[in-house]
Structure 1
């Protein structure tokens, strides 16, 4: 026998499952965004992001600030679509010919959505002169196509009497919905990855343009001479009699820090001209970090 408290607890299970799936999806999107962003950002400096050993938490944190714009745009688009979803029914009602008008809306959305998805498939699989100019818009076209077909299907299911058609079986409707949602999610992840890569590349270019004002300044003390020179990096010898370190390197910015390595940029680093210096963290060096003046 179950009491009222048990029934309420069981009633919450679907809600908790839905929330868990949404959190898992959001975490996956943030991780993918952070991975694409870091790959583009560090790749601009010639450093493969995979060598930096970032964790899932690191990738999620990379995406927190830069994902604000895509998430805000997604929420606004959802609100606009929810507000406009009754427009075809209202238009059919006031037109005086509800069946013909609503059928026109259904056919228009179904045809437009199909054409958009076919166009994206052609752009992806068939080399054409239009593929490169539309590479940025392609994922949004895919999302729009899936949304239009889904909306046309919903209109047929919602207003079968007005349209003069038989209502689609619920099982068929559910399978169709899952397929269209999967297509839309592919487009969304595709769009997020493309945005992340552009954002990472643009941030790297901006860092170079402003001379890395946001990066910490690094001074390296070393027992042995290191191969750090040129492009603003400076080396000096320490003459302290009992000092452990003999060389000091300045004019360096910190690009990244891993558990056992420092990735350093010379002060006047330029793409395709300068290198990134990689120092292993061991007892033969000392790293001092300061604010970039």
Structure 2
């Protein structure tokens, strides 16, 4: 006698809905992070290339380029600050898991709550930094301090014992996010400007560029920029050296002379064609003689 097939148990109600909710949350978070990286990359590249009289739009930068460039702000101080903030946020959970008596936990929680309720001191410190804006650097410290104070004020430890409606918390949370965005903007701009100035001071280490042309080019610049006439028998008669490659975008080469100064020198743009040939050479390595 054939046994009836065993019926599979029905899936638990809400299991599919829970997976869908998690997927929607992940997609929303990924979209937010991508948008933030795009914004940070735009600010960084705009400030970086403005030091060379260029703009990212003229270079043909796209969404993926800005996202990749945003990774430039992940410098050592920034990573230390982010890790420190994450550790600070995990202090309450860490204290609750310590193998100590409940009395010690309550005392530690009370101390943390008392400190959190004084969040206005941190906000006031940020306002003082704003008042001293021209003389206090880095500039992003002022909005970051205000944002930290506002976030501490909305923490569970600060709100314990004085209930607050979600609508009342919306304004300080929105203000904290606005100050955080301002801090990130100033940080990206500062790093872009600093990286550009450091790069301009090491132009000699950039890849070298040699330009051959059938026509004489009107190039002027520092003494390192050399023009040679190879003779009437050469098709590409004129050779220009002492140049360095700033960036290559498509078929365009953005070039500066060795010893380039942003206050007086130009950025040359070349396109390789029948009348112009571009050759790239290694730059001067660190420690090598110039």
- Shared fold (TM-score, shorter chain, > 0.5): yes
Aligned to 2:4: none
Task: Tell me, in whole angstroms, the C-alpha distance in 2 between the residues paired with 1:272 and 1:208.
Answer: 12
Q: Deviations over 1:13-48 (max 9, x none)?
A: 222222222222222222222222222222112223
Q: Structure 1 6/106 Cα, relative in aligned 2: closer, same or farther at 3 Å?
A: closer
Q: Structure 1 27/194 Cα, relative in aligned 2: closer, same or farther at 3 Å?
A: same
Say whether the 8 Å CA contact 1:233–1:252 is kept in structure 2: yes
Say whether the 8 Å CA contact 1:221–1:245 is kept in structure 2: yes
Task: Report how far residue 3 of structure 1 moved.
Answer: 4.5
Computed over aligned residues only, the root mean square deviation of the Cα atoms, in angstroms, reads 3.4
Which runs of no fewer than 5 residues in structure 2 stay unpaired? Answer: 1-8, 96-101, 285-290
Q: Deviations over 1:190-236 (max 9, x none)?
A: 222222222222222222323341x2111111122222233121111
Aligned to 2:287: none
Task: Report how far residue 182 of structure 1 moved.
Answer: 3.1
Task: Tell me, in whole angstroms, the C-alpha distance in 2 between the residues paired with 1:145 and 1:3.
Answer: 50
Task: Tell me, in whole angstroms, the C-alpha distance in 1 between the residues paired with 2:191 and 2:45.
Answer: 10
Q: Structure 1 249/4 Cα, relative in aligned 2: closer, same or farther at 3 Å?
A: same
TM-score under structure 2 length normalisation: 0.76
Aligned to 1:258: 249
Task: Tell me, in whole angstroms, the C-alpha distance in 2 between the residues paired with 1:176 and 1:285.
Answer: 66
Greater shift in the superposed pair: 215-224 or 6-15: 6-15
Which runs of no fewer than 5 residues in structure 1 stay unpaired? Answer: none
* Match for residue 144 of structure 1 among 142, 145, 148: 148
Aligned to 1:206: 198
Aligned to 2:282: 291
Q: Structure 1 234/3 Cα, relative in aligned 2: closer, same or farther at 3 Å?
A: farther
Task: Tell me, in whole angstroms, the C-alpha distance in 2 between the residues paired with 1:195 and 1:227.
Answer: 39
* Match for residue 69 of structure 2 among 58, 62, 72: 62
1:117-266 residue pairs with structure 2 within 5 A? 119=127, 123=130, 130-134=132-136, 135-151=139-155, 154-155=156-157, 159-160=160-161, 167-168=163-164, 172-173=165-166, 175-213=167-205, 215-231=206-222, 232-239=224-231, 241=233, 243-266=234-257
Q: Does 1:80 align with 2:71?
A: no
1:91-110 residue pairs with structure 2 within 5 A? 93-94=106-107, 105=115, 107-109=117-119
Task: Report how far residue 266 of structure 1 moved.
Answer: 0.4
Q: Structure 1 189/265 Cα, relative in aligned 2: closer, same or farther at 3 Å?
A: same
TM-score under structure 1 length normalisation: 0.76
Task: Tell me, in whole angstroms, the C-alpha distance in 2 between the residues paired with 1:22 and 1:102.
Answer: 30
Task: Tell me, in whole angstroms, the C-alpha distance in 1 between the residues paired with 2:275 and 2:82.
Answer: 51
Task: Tell me, in whole angstroms, the C-alpha distance in 2 between the residues paired with 1:66 and 1:260.
Answer: 28
Task: Report how far residue 180 of structure 1 moved.
Answer: 3.8
* Match for residue 4 of structure 1 among 4, 11, 14: 11
> Aligned pair count?
266
Task: Tell me, in whole angstroms, the C-alpha distance in 2 between the residues paired with 1:41 and 1:207.
Answer: 10
Task: Report how far residue 255 of structure 1 moved.
Answer: 0.8
Q: Deviations over 1:38-74 (max 9, x none)?
A: 2222211222333212111111212224325435522
* Match for residue 269 of structure 1 among 249, 260, 278: 260
Task: Tell me, in whole angstroms, the C-alpha distance in 1 between the residues paired with 2:280 and 2:12.
Answer: 58
